[in-house]
Structure 1
Amino acid sequence: MASRKRGAHRDNGLGDGTGSRSPERSDGRHIAALVLARGGSKGIPLKNIKMLAGVPLLGWVLRAAVDSQMFDSVWVSTDHDEIEKVAKSWGAKVHRRSAQVSEDVTSSVKTIQEFLSKNKDVDIVCHIQATSPCLHPSHLQGALKKILEDGYDSVFSVVRRHQFRWKEVKKDSGESTEPFNIDPLKRPRRQDWDGELYENGSFYISSRDFITKTGSLQGGKVAYYEMEPEHSVDIDVDIDWPVAEQRILRYGYFGRGVSLMFLKVSGCLTDGKVLLSGFGEDSVSVHTRDTTGIRMLQKDDVEVVLLVSGDDPVLSSMTEKLKNLTGCEVMTVGEEPLSDVQAVVEKKKLDWKDVAYMG
């Protein structure tokens, strides 16, 4: 069973590729998130579905897009069967791009134009790079606000860098290089210099009308959205992979959290001891920190189901007391609890990535 960082879970339409629209937005425009994931990556073969910190690379950005609650639909444009399977497993709809826009030299704009021609209801498209796994929902929310509320035609992501740039000269030319953005005689301290803004390629947002008229994702009344340096991660070659993995473990977005947790009572709430009294009554001890933890999960809208082994006569006789103590449903399970809880997961119409287990 897969578990994610603890947090409140809300129904966001993940199962059908449709994101929940923000309650503040009611202008009727259809906003789509679109991830381009071609199967012919040269630097890292099939990198879009390679596992990164336990999640397919594609999954990191799809999770952020859905949880932003800003999109009416979330899509992956691909030409590869395995990428399609992964995309659907993470809740995205799939646009099967044509061979004409699946070549090495095909531009992103051409692929997006084909997508728009097949999806006439889309008014605004947010092109998200699959190779930017540290993307957070808040980045997309802030950028889309510039389109929806501030009236910009296009928005793209940038990162601030404090790097001094110099003119490149040809080898053995004898030419003298020149500075681009500093005066060498007056080199500023980092804290005294604002730095410069660079595109980080994380996302580009434009309206259908602007893309159709100009054949570009940037222009018109254009704005940038500045992302933090720690969230600006791009993966092109193998050497980027371990660096990105460490960065995402520290700064990545791990989702809203699970919505259902199965907790085995023996060994989790108890220390495994059975206390025998002189009156012939058996008892167990439950740690108050465990019940406090359960209440914290419940406060975050995580449903907790306690599991009691049918072979444990003491705990089996205490199901009502456990229920009253924790406010949780108590299930009796056999030697293989997975088969017993499967029916609960199906009844609640959950995916396993929304479920945690502790035993």
Structure 2
Amino acid sequence: MATRKRGMPEENAKSEEAESPKKLRSRHVAALILARGGSKGIPLKNIKPLAGVPLVGWVLRAAIDSGEFDSVWVSTDHDEIEKIAKSWGAKVHRRSQEVSKDSSTSLETIQEFLKKNPDVTVVCNIQATSPCLHPTHLKEALKKITKDGYDSVFSVVRRHQFRWKEVKKGSDECTKPENLNPAKRPRRQDWNGELIENGSFYFATRDLIMKEGRLQGGRVAYFEMEPQHSVDIDVDIDWPVAEQRVLRYGYFGRGVSLMFCEVSGSSSAKDTAGLRKLKKDDVEVVLLISEENVALRQMRYKLKMMTGCEVMLVGEDPLKDVQSMVEKRKLDWKDVAYMGCDAASASCLHLAGLSAAPADAQPDAIRAGKFACKQGGGAGAVRDFAEHVLVQKQQARLQMKQDGIDRNCF
């Protein structure tokens, strides 16, 4: 689990601890993503794939990679959401029925979480539907509490929109401007605009939430996010827009470093070329062959020589065999890509940060995959997925360079 100050230079960490060791030891900062299963606008939208990643995965990756949280949690009432959350490295708060109703508020759910976790002193409620959140947003906002002494901090975005008074239907009343003078209508560049809550995250102290019953209060501060990072998803029409935005402005983490690829038959030259591209980009590729496939077992050495990839035999449940390799390389499943074609592969496809199944795979595998391949097995599906993985890695590199993140700190 991610812990605060991971990657901080040792001398800086010691210096900060020396300044106020008691304060640092007593504080527990938790990230909490609320992900109820009963979404009305988009069913199970919290785990619906967005640009090949479960929606909640985008914010979990940002929270964990920030290195600022002592614990990262997802609060849910749904088994599938719980499974996805754990695969991305989060803990799960299984919320009660009392706070899982359509009428339940976020505050009620957070209060229940704090009652069950008395060691948490600061909580950050992160909205699952804000996929363009970055680690730097959370790091800078938290400083306002840990360094500047604020009790609550929330995210805002600057909008240049003129507001007019609403008039009831059928009324003779005329509307009136609320934030402008029409006679002196300002140009955009001459107007600072207004700060609007974007709901991306809310930091608050335990005392504020439990004793005063609110997320905003005490000494309040805001953290301004750039408009391109302020994305929210409520209804279906928001989805394609959000997908384009996240591909350009989302946080892509480190990119995957290990890929498992099930082999069930012959592969094309296109697929082999895709595997070579992955290896060239420092993605370790492991080919998986079923122990029951006698023909492929006999070709194991030849397949290794032809592709340059490690070849591994797996049993009826591939997860049991590949899990040890993930742990040995000290990776989380969110850093792993997986391509499978059978129903038995569904658990691995669910767990992996990036996953796919050939177009002609078994239905259970296709449903579990996060990326939809257009080609079938042996006809270019591996290349399709390989290119998707490489795009994600390229985005990750560009984002790290832009944010000034040292990947060696993770």
Identify the structure with bigger relative contact order (alpha carbons < 8 Å, sequence gap 6+).
1
- The 3-state SS of whatever aligns with 1:163 is coil
Distance 1:209 1:312, change over 3 A: closer
**2:302 is matched with which residue?**
311
Q: Which amino acid aligns with 1:145?
A: K
**2:293 is matched with which residue?**
none
Matching of residue 350 in structure 1 with residue 331 in structure 2: yes
What does the per-residue CA deviation read over 1:256-304, in whole Å, with 9 as the maximum and x for residues that have no partner?
22344799xxx89x99xxxxxxxxxxxxxxxxxx9xx95xx6xxxx676
**2:133 is matched with which residue?**
135
Using the TM superposition, give the Cα deviation of residue 168 of structure 1 relative to its aligned residue in structure 2, in angstroms. Answer: 0.5
- The 3-state SS of whatever aligns with 1:138 is helix
1:280-291 equivalence runs, <5 A: none
Aligned length: 300
- The 3-state SS of whatever aligns with 1:199 is strand
Using the TM superposition, give the Cα deviation of residue 210 of structure 1 relative to its aligned residue in structure 2, in angstroms. Answer: 1.4
Asked if 1 retains the 8 angstrom alpha-carbon contact of 2:165 and 2:176, the reply is: yes
Structure 2 gap ranges (5+): 18-23, 262-268, 288-299, 339-381, 384-410
Distance 1:331 1:85, change over 3 A: closer
Q: Which amino acid aligns with 2:183?
A: L
Alignment RMSD: 3.3
Asked if 2 retains the 8 angstrom alpha-carbon contact of 1:159 and 1:197, the reply is: yes
Rounded to whole Å, the distance in 2 between the matches of 1:82 and 1:236 is 20
Asked if 1 retains the 8 angstrom alpha-carbon contact of 2:164 and 2:175, the reply is: yes
Structure 1 gap ranges (5+): 1-12, 272-289, 317-329
Distance 1:151 1:333, change over 3 A: same
Matching of residue 87 in structure 1 with residue 71 in structure 2: no
**1:9 is matched with which residue?**
none
Using the TM superposition, give the Cα deviation of residue 348 of structure 1 relative to its aligned residue in structure 2, in angstroms. Answer: 2.2
Query: Structure 1 length as normaliser, TM-score?
Result: 0.74
**1:321 is matched with which residue?**
none
Identity %: 69
Rounded to whole Å, the distance in 2 between the matches of 1:49 and 1:117 is 26
Among 109, 121, 124, which residue is 2:122 paired with? 124
Distance 1:352 1:229, change over 3 A: same
Using the TM superposition, give the Cα deviation of residue 346 of structure 1 relative to its aligned residue in structure 2, in angstroms. Answer: 5.2
Asked if 1 retains the 8 angstrom alpha-carbon contact of 2:87 and 2:334, the reply is: no
Rounded to whole Å, the distance in 2 between the matches of 1:207 and 1:332 is 49
**1:327 is matched with which residue?**
none
- The 3-state SS of whatever aligns with 1:311 is helix
Rounded to whole Å, the distance in 2 between the matches of 1:141 and 1:66 is 11
Among 132, 146, 149, which residue is 1:148 paired with? 146
- The 3-state SS of whatever aligns with 1:250 is helix
Rounded to whole Å, the distance in 2 between the matches of 1:101 and 1:335 is 46
1:144-223 equivalence runs, <5 A: 144-223=142-221
Distance 1:81 1:345, change over 3 A: closer
Q: Which has the higher helix share?
A: 2
Matching of residue 231 in structure 1 with residue 229 in structure 2: yes
Asked if 2 retains the 8 angstrom alpha-carbon contact of 1:163 and 1:195, the reply is: yes
Distance 1:344 1:171, change over 3 A: closer
**2:5 is matched with which residue?**
21
Rounded to whole Å, the distance in 2 between the matches of 1:191 and 1:310 is 66
Asked if 2 retains the 8 angstrom alpha-carbon contact of 1:65 and 1:137, the reply is: yes
Distance 1:303 1:42, change over 3 A: closer
Distance 1:198 1:258, change over 3 A: same
**2:365 is matched with which residue?**
none
**1:39 is matched with which residue?**
37
What does the per-residue CA deviation read over 1:302-352, in whole Å, with 9 as the maximum and x for residues that have no partner?
676899x84389x79xxxxxxxxxxxxx8664899xx9x957545324345
Using the TM superposition, give the Cα deviation of residue 172 of structure 1 relative to its aligned residue in structure 2, in angstroms. Answer: 2.1
